[in-house]
Amino acid sequence: MSGFLKIAIRNLLKGPVTDPYPFGKTFIPNKLRGKLKVDPKACTACGTCEEVCPSGAIHITKNENVYVHTTWYNTCCFCGNCEFFCPTGAIKLTNDFHTANTEEEKYRFTTVALISEIKCESCGEMFVPASEALLKRAYPNVNDTIRELTKLCPKCRRKKAFERLYQ
């Protein structure tokens, strides 16, 4: 009995161990997987996140000249698969875990990122350019020639790159 008595007395002296949350502070580690943040500048609307999301929480739809990247929190299970597989690092799970919402907000409780297309400098076709983050992943050092190429649509880019070979 003495073993447990010791613990009991120590606990009495120590006071409660539970956090007073939501009225006070609680322990929130930096790496906690909570609501996610999508950086539209880094995202290239490649659809990888949509593909690997196990619960189908991510939808990428296209409106005129802009891709809409929507994450539904009532479906998301905060697994972090999208963050891990995103080739450009555009998705980050933040440590904001406040996901209580009313039934009324059910269809509005989302994160939306807009990825707009740009006009091809050569032919005027609309397309999504490769982001800086993607270039950094693809090339050991990103120079201006490569950056110039991102302003062209895939078709014109191919043409230009081919021409360069024979100049």
Residues that bind ligand SF4 (CB under 6 A): 38, 43-49, 53-55, 57-58, 71, 76-82, 86-88, 90-91
Question: Does residue 78 come out as left (phi exceeding 0), alpha (psi in the -120 to 50 range) or beta?
Answer: left
Given the complex with another protein, which of 40 and 80 has the nearer CB atom?
Answer: 80
- Output the smallest distance, CB 85 to ligand SF4, in A: 7
> Measuring CA to CA, how many Å separate 34 from each of 81, 107, 114, 124, 125?
13, 18, 21, 40, 38
Question: Which run of H or of E encompasses 138?
Answer: helix 132-138
* Binding letters toward another protein, positions 93-132, x by CB under 8 A: x---------------------------------------
- Output the smallest distance, CB 90 to another protein, in A: 17
* By CB under 8 A, residue 81 contacts another protein: yes
Burial level of 68, CB count in 10 A (0-12/13-18/19+)? middle
* By CB under 8 A, residue 3 contacts another protein: yes
Q: How would you label 20-39 residue by residue, b for 16+ Cβ within 10 Å and e otherwise? A: eeeeeeeeeeeeebbbbebb
Question: What residues make contact with another protein under the rule CB under 8 A?
Answer: 1, 3-4, 6-8, 11, 17, 27, 29-33, 51-55, 77-81, 84-85, 93
